[in-house]
Structure 1
Amino acid sequence: MIFYLEQHDPETYRRKARLISVAMAAQLIVFGMLFAQLLTASFGSSLWLNGLGVFLGLLFTSLTFAVLRERPWMKELRYVSGLKQHLARISSYLPVLRRAVAEDNVNALNILSFYHQGMAQLAELNGRTTDDDAERLAEKMEVRLKREEKQLPEKVEGFDPHDLQAFKRS
């Protein structure tokens, strides 16, 4: 399944991420304490029962998040989660991709271009800058120049994870 880059408002994403993080942490605390209280009231006080109560609170919070994850108001968080997963997967192939780009492999060039676009977008959404890594900036410039040399568009629209199968990790 191809993952397409989308535009999202960074402020909206950060606001929703903070709100959901606080709500989930509060839910974990409340349900962890509730389950621990119920267990210790029913079976007596024990460190293991308190731990089980916290574990049940974590389980309930995780289930709640899994159910609510598909709601429309979670769109930005789903997108960023998917973007992070794809970038992590690509990063495990970076040495091989860099060698393939040096050999003028267009597929590797597209994947690395997506990687740099995704990293820049992720930094923007999180309110960070990407200007602190000279090596990555040099690689980004090299990819851009090779794309111009091959008359490829400056940006790629998406990433197909199946494209990585052509490259073996080393």
Structure 2
Amino acid sequence: MEGRRDGGRGGSAPGVDDAIRELLLLMPRMVGRAKRIPVPDELQSLALAPRHLSLLSYLLFDGPMAVNDLAARLGVAPTTVSLMVGELSRKGILERREDDSDRRRRIVSINDSKRPPIADWLAQGATAWRHALAPLTPDQRRTFIDTLLAYEAGMAGDEDD
């Protein structure tokens, strides 16, 4: 095991093992804090699950889009997104309409009445990420995102290290 043993922040860069140790302690705290973000009263009865957060985030930040586009961004099958959209539409959270340029396609958007509480709910996380990422250069942000993606893939067993 190489690297610093002081576990401190700042100063010289930690070795790989010390960085791992620090992240293993940090990740559960981050997840715990994210889980404690209160669901707004207007959304409490809708039984939203973590799987809905990514879908809602895309629609909130990027605007209305087709089911296939959502599926590509979420990295899941279009049928999975169709099921989630159907569920959230029945709850009045999402709306589906025909695409003006292709009537076979459905465009999904957040219901205007649900947009403010969803924006409020997701704002704390977005604000925290903005504060964390703003001081970094674009290359540093790319490295950070790529590192998190590699970690996720490793946890899913997608890497052979």
Normalised to the residue count of structure 1, the TM-score between the two structures is 0.27
Larger radius of gyration: 1
Structure with higher helix content: 1
Normalised to the residue count of structure 2, the TM-score between the two structures is 0.28
Structure with higher strand content: 2
